[in-house]
Amino acid sequence: MKTLKNSVWLGCVGWFYSLLVGASPLENHSNEQLLTNFALASCIATFYPKTEVAKDAKVAMQGYVEFSDLSIEVFAGIHELIDRKAVEQYQAKRGGTVELAYCIDFSHSEQVQRLTTSD
Protein backbone atom coordinates (compact mmCIF):
# COMPACT_ATOMS: atom_id res chain seq x y z
CA MET A 1 0.00 0.00 0.00
CA LYS A 2 2.87 2.32 0.84
CA THR A 3 4.34 1.76 -2.65
CA LEU A 4 1.03 2.74 -4.24
CA LYS A 5 0.86 5.93 -2.17
CA ASN A 6 4.43 6.78 -3.13
CA SER A 7 3.66 6.17 -6.80
CA VAL A 8 0.59 8.39 -6.69
CA TRP A 9 2.50 11.10 -4.85
CA LEU A 10 5.39 10.96 -7.33
CA GLY A 11 2.92 11.08 -10.20
CA CYS A 12 1.30 14.22 -8.75
CA VAL A 13 4.69 15.85 -8.20
CA GLY A 14 5.68 15.02 -11.78
CA TRP A 15 2.44 16.47 -13.13
CA PHE A 16 2.84 19.66 -11.09
CA TYR A 17 6.48 20.02 -12.17
CA SER A 18 5.45 19.68 -15.81
CA LEU A 19 3.13 22.65 -15.31
CA LEU A 20 5.98 24.72 -13.91
CA VAL A 21 8.41 23.80 -16.67
CA GLY A 22 6.13 25.22 -19.33
CA ALA A 23 4.12 24.23 -22.30
CA SER A 24 5.25 22.14 -25.21
CA PRO A 25 6.56 24.02 -28.24
CA LEU A 26 4.02 22.03 -30.27
CA GLU A 27 1.23 24.10 -28.71
CA ASN A 28 2.37 27.03 -30.84
CA HIS A 29 2.19 25.11 -34.12
CA SER A 30 -0.75 25.46 -36.48
CA ASN A 31 -2.65 22.39 -37.63
CA GLU A 32 -0.95 22.80 -41.00
CA GLN A 33 2.52 22.78 -39.41
CA LEU A 34 1.66 19.75 -37.29
CA LEU A 35 0.40 17.84 -40.32
CA THR A 36 3.44 18.81 -42.41
CA ASN A 37 5.76 17.64 -39.64
CA PHE A 38 3.70 14.47 -39.20
CA ALA A 39 4.04 13.76 -42.93
CA LEU A 40 7.81 14.17 -42.75
CA ALA A 41 8.12 11.95 -39.67
CA SER A 42 5.81 9.33 -41.20
CA CYS A 43 7.83 9.25 -44.39
CA ILE A 44 11.10 8.91 -42.48
CA ALA A 45 9.65 6.07 -40.40
CA THR A 46 8.54 4.37 -43.63
CA PHE A 47 11.85 4.59 -45.47
CA TYR A 48 14.15 4.01 -42.49
CA PRO A 49 12.37 1.15 -40.67
CA LYS A 50 13.95 -0.60 -37.70
CA THR A 51 16.28 2.31 -36.97
CA GLU A 52 16.59 4.64 -34.01
CA VAL A 53 15.47 7.54 -36.18
CA ALA A 54 12.30 5.61 -37.10
CA LYS A 55 11.53 5.07 -33.40
CA ASP A 56 12.02 8.78 -32.74
CA ALA A 57 9.88 9.69 -35.75
CA LYS A 58 7.03 7.55 -34.42
CA VAL A 59 7.17 9.27 -31.03
CA ALA A 60 7.13 12.66 -32.78
CA MET A 61 4.13 11.55 -34.86
CA GLN A 62 2.17 10.85 -31.68
CA GLY A 63 2.91 14.34 -30.41
CA TYR A 64 1.78 15.96 -33.66
CA VAL A 65 -1.54 14.10 -33.47
CA GLU A 66 -2.05 14.95 -29.79
CA PHE A 67 -1.54 18.69 -30.28
CA SER A 68 -3.63 18.99 -33.43
CA ASP A 69 -7.32 19.70 -33.79
CA LEU A 70 -7.44 17.70 -37.03
CA SER A 71 -9.26 14.37 -37.08
CA ILE A 72 -7.33 11.13 -36.81
CA GLU A 73 -8.55 10.25 -40.31
CA VAL A 74 -6.54 13.15 -41.75
CA PHE A 75 -3.37 11.79 -40.18
CA ALA A 76 -4.20 8.26 -41.30
CA GLY A 77 -4.48 9.56 -44.86
CA ILE A 78 -0.82 10.58 -44.85
CA HIS A 79 0.47 7.02 -44.92
CA GLU A 80 -1.67 6.26 -47.96
CA LEU A 81 -0.07 9.17 -49.84
CA ILE A 82 3.53 8.04 -49.39
CA ASP A 83 4.53 6.77 -52.82
CA ARG A 84 7.27 4.16 -52.72
CA LYS A 85 7.66 4.37 -56.48
CA ALA A 86 7.99 8.17 -56.59
CA VAL A 87 11.10 7.95 -54.44
CA GLU A 88 12.86 6.28 -57.37
CA GLN A 89 12.94 9.70 -59.08
CA TYR A 90 15.24 10.97 -56.31
CA GLN A 91 18.51 9.56 -57.62
CA ALA A 92 21.86 10.66 -56.27
CA LYS A 93 24.54 11.52 -58.83
CA ARG A 94 26.66 8.66 -57.55
CA GLY A 95 23.79 6.18 -57.59
CA GLY A 96 21.17 5.15 -55.11
CA THR A 97 18.04 6.92 -54.01
CA VAL A 98 17.80 9.87 -51.66
CA GLU A 99 14.78 8.98 -49.56
CA LEU A 100 15.18 11.94 -47.23
CA ALA A 101 14.91 14.41 -50.12
CA TYR A 102 11.70 12.69 -51.20
CA CYS A 103 10.35 12.87 -47.63
CA ILE A 104 11.06 16.59 -47.33
CA ASP A 105 9.37 17.31 -50.66
CA PHE A 106 6.49 14.98 -49.80
CA SER A 107 5.80 16.75 -46.51
CA HIS A 108 5.39 20.05 -48.38
CA SER A 109 3.41 18.59 -51.28
CA GLU A 110 0.00 19.80 -52.39
CA GLN A 111 -1.41 16.37 -51.55
CA VAL A 112 -0.47 16.78 -47.90
CA GLN A 113 -1.55 20.42 -47.72
CA ARG A 114 -4.97 19.54 -49.17
CA LEU A 115 -5.64 17.25 -46.23
CA THR A 116 -5.74 20.21 -43.84
CA THR A 117 -8.55 21.81 -45.83
CA SER A 118 -10.55 18.60 -46.17
CA ASP A 119 -11.13 18.25 -42.43
Q: What residue spans define the domains of the chain?
A: 24-118
Indicate the CATH number for domain 24-118: 1.20.120.1620
Kindly provide the b/e burial profile for residues 44-83, where b requires at least 16 CB atoms within 10 angstroms of the residue's own CB: bbbbbeeeeeeeebeebbebbbebbebeeebbebbeebbe
Cα-only R_g, the chain:
19
Q: Indicate the pTM of the whole model.
A: 0.78
pLDDT tens for the chain, 119 residues long, are 444 444 444 444 444 444 445 678 888 899 999 999 999 999 999 999 999 999 999 999 999 999 999 999 999 999 999 998 999 999 999 999 999 999 999 999 999 999 988 76
